[in-house]
Amino acid sequence: MLELDEKFFGRFGVEYTPNQIIFCEFEPGYEFYFIQKGKVKITKIINDREKTIDVLTAGDVFGEMAILEEEPRSASAIAVDNVRVLKFHRDNFDTLLQGNPQLAYKLLLIFSKRIYDAKRRLMILLLEEPAVKVMDVLIMLAEQNPQYDFEGEVTLYTTAAQVASWAGMAEADAQKELTHLTRVDKIDLYEDRIVVKNIRDFQRVITSRRKNLYS
């Protein structure tokens, strides 16, 4: 990547200052970006609040949906600190690929991961009971960290608000389910993290619910 960066910065490099918009939700978009330096947050305005969906750092790509699609941006990208990016117009994509196949490989990795994340989220959303959805969100978060030992306690750095957003439910409802799980001693709930006592328990519940879903 470094080789690519140095060679291309003169032509494609752009810099942003903290809190500056790189692109805005619903704006037509024809470019995609590689972060060279700094942090970029991906946000959406939901119910008149700015929600941060993701924070990206050097080496990450964003705006990549514009490469192959005609849709307006589905989220905003905002510089968190001083940000340096390479900005490519999709018309240059083929040329860029020819010259930089490693970029293509990187995009394949990104797409693979995003497809899985979207599928996994859909699996959660398709569950019916809120309690079960919340459990499956916790499983998903645990899965994202391959070094976790599922036999022991698992600490997830997340909040009720984030769980709610994954589960597609109101924060108060997610909070209610999490409080219940605390009461029955399945999890410990903290301001910034959730400790799951036995994630295997949750997995058993979800597996059986999922079987019933289709039968």
Partner 1 sequence: MASGFQGGIITRGYKSGSIIYFENDKSEYIYILKSGRVLLTYTKIDTGEEVKEEVRQGEFFGVKSALGKYPREETAQTIGETTVLVLNMADFERMILRNVNVVRKMLRVFSNQLRRLGKTVRTVLGETDNVNPDVELFRIGEHYFKAGDFNKATYAFKKYMEYYPNTDYSKLAMDRIKTISSGGGYTSPASAKAPKEDDLSDFSMDEDSDDVFSFDDKPALKKETKPDFSFDSEPDNPSLASELSSEMDDFLSDDNTLDDFGDFDFDGGSSAKSEPTLKERFEVGFSSFKMDNYKDALTVFSEIINEGVPGKPHDLKIYIDAYFYSGVSYFKLKNYKEAMNHLGEIIKKYSDSERMKESLLYVGDIFAAASQKEKAITYYNKVANASPKDSLNSKAFDKIRTLQKS
Select the residue interacting with partner 1 from 68, 91, 92, 200 (CB under 8 A): 68
Q: Give the closest residue to 108 by CA, choosing from 97, 119, 118, 99.
A: 97
Draw the binding track, 30-49, toward partner 1 (x: CB under 8 A; -: no contact).
---------------x--xx
DSSP notation for 83-111: EEEEEEEGGGHHHHHHH-HHHHHHHHHHH
Closest CA to 22 of 66, 68, 80: 80
Cβ distance 209 to 199 under 8 Å? no
For helices 101-126 and 130-143, give the axis angle rounded to 10 degrees. Answer: 150
Q: What is the DSSP letter of 187?
A: E
Return the closest-CA partner of residue 15 out of 85, 68, 76.
85
The answer to whether 59 contacts partner 1 (rule: CB under 8 A) is no
Q: Which is nearer to partner 1, 9 or 39 (CB)?
A: 39
- 105-124: contacts with partner 1 (CB under 8 A): 105, 107-109, 111-116, 118-119, 121-123
Instruction: Provide the minimum distance between the beta carbon of 83 and partner 1 in the complex, in angstroms, as a whole number.
Output: 13
The C-alpha atoms of residue 169 and residue 119 are separated, in whole angstroms, by 18
| 7 vs 114, beta carbon nearer partner 1 | 114
Min dist. Cβ of residue 36 to partner 1 (A): 19
Cα diameter, the chain = 59
Is 27 or 129 the residue whose CB approaches partner 1 more closely?
A: 27
Binding residues among 170-209 for partner 1 as defined by CB under 8 A: 179, 182-183, 185, 188-192, 195
Which parts of this chain interact with partner 1 (CB under 8 A)?
Answer: 18-21, 24-28, 45, 48-52, 65, 67-69, 71-72, 74, 76, 78, 81, 94, 97-98, 101-102, 104-105, 107-109, 111-116, 118-119, 121-123, 125-126, 143, 146, 168, 179, 182-183, 185, 188-192, 195, 213-214
